[in-house]
Structure 1
Amino acid sequence: MAKIVLFCLVLVQLAVVSERQHTALEPKPLKIYEKDGVRVPAYDFKSLEYFLNKKNDTTYVVNFWATWCAPCVAELPHFEKLNALYKNRKVKVLLVSLDMRKKIESNLIPFIKRKNLKSDVIFLDDLNANEWIGKVDAGWSGAIPATVIFNKTERKFYEQSFTFDALENELKQIIR
């Protein structure tokens, strides 16, 4: 019995160490903007790459958008619906805002609150778009909305707007 208890304690310690190592890899935001109960972390592209290259058992849907982009705003409810429908199926939606830094507190945060966005939202604080756009996808012109859907075995990039059905169909092709 004592050996079983000791074995269980060792397993718990290994899990804690593993979780610490995983968390330690996640980059710290450059800044965290907070207002009216809404929290938006800001990352430069080097740190954002961590979120674009995860290799685990989750499928990620990463949408690049901005509050000033009408097609982006029009498709956000589809990402929110996808996030809600697939939240228990190892699918994670990440909304990467390309709004201007000076508009985060006046536009982005009130928009998130008003639209009651539940998906994770981060702000990409990196003005050198010519350097990082091609790192997201070599064929990306830089136009938004743009979306990356990936998991550890497959990755697809879309420079387009989505209907819910089209977005879900693309997700299903990857999570099959």
Structure 2
Amino acid sequence: MKKKGILVSFIVTLCFLVSCKDNKNEAIISQDIPVYDFEGLEPLLYTQNNKTYLINFWAMWCLPCVEELPYIQEYANKNPNVEVILVSMDFPKDIETKLKPFLKKNNITTKVVLLDDPDANSWINKINPEWSGAIPFTIMFNSEKRFYYERSFDDLQDIEIEISKNFNK
């Protein structure tokens, strides 16, 4: 009888834990991830207002990209006044089966879009002629300033320092 009681307690606890989901994370992960060619993405890379943007190009298969995502997410959580967009370079066919589960598993709730444009030789130079095409690649900008980072960020403080020194003067 004692084993039965332990089993019932376990099932009740498991049901409770499953029902106590992080609704914010569920809402973000279940939302559509728009797929753009470069022409569709390009307007997201410019602004006419003084709001600061952080746009990060990344992919699930890129280890330095994956390692910096928690820092970018933490920065986005702490700074809702900065628009953060993660531009996935993964395959559109993998959105439901790989990308959304990856985002959920890693608790990434920041806005994600997917860039599906095979003519990288044309659009990389439009973003920045000095960009080799390597990822991670981050753009920080507002209507007056623009900075490019062809590297990963080491931690949250690394991102905060770059934003602070370039936009909070």
- State if a TM-score over 0.5 links the two structures: yes
The CA deviation at 1:101 is 2.3
User: Hey, what does 1:127 align to over in structure 2?
Assistant: 118
What is the rounded CA distance, in whole Å, between the counterparts of 1:37 and 1:142 in structure 2? 30
Q: Would you say the 8 A contact 1:95–1:122 is kept in 2?
A: yes
Bigger Rg, structure 1 or 2: 2
1:147, 1:53 → 2: CA distance?
Answer: 14
- 2:82 matches 1:86: no
Q: Name which of 144, 162, 169 aligns with 2:153.
A: 162
Give the residue type in structure 2 aligned to 1:138.
P
Q: Residues 151 and 174 of structure 1 are in contact (CA less than 8 Å); yes or no, is this contact kept in structure 2?
A: no
The answer for unaligned runs of 5 or more in structure 1 is 1-35
The alpha-carbon deviation at position 173 of structure 1 amounts to 1.8
Partner of 1:9: none
1:60 to 53, 57, 68: 53
Residue correspondence of structure 1 range 1-176 to structure 2 within 5 A = 37-87=30-80, 90-163=81-154, 164-176=156-168
Task: Give me the CA root mean square deviation.
Answer: 1.5
Query: Between Structure 1 and Structure 2, how many residues are aligned?
Result: 140
What amino acid does structure 1 have at the position aligned with 2:75? L
Do the aligned partners of 2:60 and 2:99 also contact (CA within 8 Å) in 1? yes
Greater relative CO, 1 or 2 (CA 8 Å, sep 6+): 2
CA contact (8 A) 2:64 2:152 kept: yes
Offset of residue 115 of structure 1: 1.5
Determine the C-alpha separation between the residues in 2 that align with 1:79 and 1:63.
Answer: 9
- Counterpart of 1:148 in structure 2: which amino acid? I
Counterpart Cα distance in 2 of 1:84 and 1:158: 21
Distance 1:73 1:38 in 2: 21
Deviation at residue 145 of structure 1 after TM alignment: 0.3
SS of the residue corresponding to residue 117 of structure 1 reads coil
CA contact (8 A) 2:50 2:144 kept: no
Structure 2, unmatched stretches of 5+, are 1-28
**Structure 1 length-normalised TM:** 0.76
Determine the C-alpha separation between the residues in 2 that align with 1:160 and 1:45. Answer: 21
Compute the displacement of 1:39 (Å). 2.1
